[in-house]
Chain A
């Protein structure tokens, strides 16, 4: 039985692997294509286990088989269908005892109890099977001690992510899969190293409004977007904001333009 860890250590290990998420359009090795959830989970899981073991952890894996459907913002159809799926697990000490938690950045923003992970995949009759971290592919108990097969799987799905990002839909996430949020005026995409100006009109001139920009497309490693705000007094009571966004990266970036009204 793997040595239990604290929830804090589980979160640290999650962050360790999640920091490897691919910038979708370039998807350069050694990134892990968490943002291509459609396929390749066995490669992601094996690479995650490698990273966690190198960090002194003792992960295992859980395999799920069934008629699986998971919601995601990283597929243009807003969901993925799987016949099976796999992710690393950790034994975590909780106030109610030791639990199995799953590390799966393709589905969750942090470690989750195995029951939560199971419940998110849409099949109450699905079957869970644990294995050691050494099992690369469950059927046949195939191992991959040199990580050659792992790297091949990761390369395949990095390419798939690049290809999807080059379509008209652009890189993930996909706006049609996202709920509308208060304080979000618009969502759009800006091309690599581009500067573009958007305007939004009909704002009360006596409102005190601040504008911020938030990238939606993850790309760890450096600043992605900067912005500049100008304003036009378009009438006695109205104004128009002109917001110029600059993409500092070589990858297209989806983003949202946010506003906050500080006073009326």
Chain B
């Protein structure tokens, strides 16, 4: 397994925003997870979901929607892990 940070982003209070990242080899087993970089103790800050598009026979595009659950802007890292 190997991991990385694909992007950093910010989501406004109560808002959600979708990012996409393309050109990933389809045979890779990739999971996505978010990590806030603006500390705000007391409650969850972000939630996310992942959708995927098969762009062609060999590559895919991930569409990642990040939701800010707080009343303050949240900056975060979009992280991935390639499992296989």
A219 touches B83 (CB 8 A): no
Q: Does chain B have a CB within 8 A of A224?
A: yes
**Beyond A183-B84, A210-B31, A212-B29, is A109–B53 a contact (Cβ under 8 Å)?**
no
Q: B52 — which chain A residues lie within 8 A by C-beta?
A: 213-215, 223-226
Chain B 63-84 residues near chain A, CB threshold 8 A: 63, 83-84
- A224 — nearest CB in chain B belongs to which residue? B53
Give the interface size bracket for A toward B.
20 to 34
Q: How many residues of B contact A (CB 8 A)?
A: 22
Q: Does chain A have a CB within 8 A of B26?
A: yes
Q: A223 — which chain B residues lie within 8 A by C-beta?
A: 20, 51-53, 61, 63
- B27 — nearest CB in chain A belongs to which residue? A181
Q: Does chain B have a CB within 8 A of A113?
A: no
- Among A219, A225, A258, which residue has its beta carbon within 8 angstroms of that of B51? A225
A260 touches B54 (CB 8 A): no
B83 touches A105 (CB 8 A): no
Q: B61 — which chain A residues lie within 8 A by C-beta?
A: 220, 223
B26 touches A214 (CB 8 A): yes
Chain A 193-220 residues near chain B, CB threshold 8 A: 210, 212-220
- Among A109, A224, A260, A262, which residue has its beta carbon within 8 angstroms of that of B58? A109
Q: B50 — which chain A residues lie within 8 A by C-beta?
A: 226
Q: Does chain A have a CB within 8 A of B6?
A: no
Q: At the interface, is chain A mostly helix, strand, loop or mixed?
A: loop
Q: A218 — which chain B residues lie within 8 A by C-beta?
A: 54-57
Q: Does chain B have a CB within 8 A of A248?
A: yes
Please encode chain A, from 99 to 118, with 1 for each CB lying within 8 Å of some chain B CB and 0 for all others.
Answer: 00000010001100000000
Complex: how many Å from CA A225 to CA B55? 12
- A184 — nearest CB in chain B belongs to which residue? B29
Q: Does chain B have a CB within 8 A of A175?
A: no
Q: B51 — which chain A residues lie within 8 A by C-beta?
A: 223-226, 248
A212 touches B55 (CB 8 A): no
Q: Does chain A have a CB within 8 A of B49?
A: yes
B31 touches A212 (CB 8 A): yes
User: 10 A-B Cβ contacts within 8 A?
Assistant: A19-B56, A105-B56, A109-B56, A173-B57, A218-B54, A218-B56, A219-B53, A219-B54, A220-B53, A223-B20
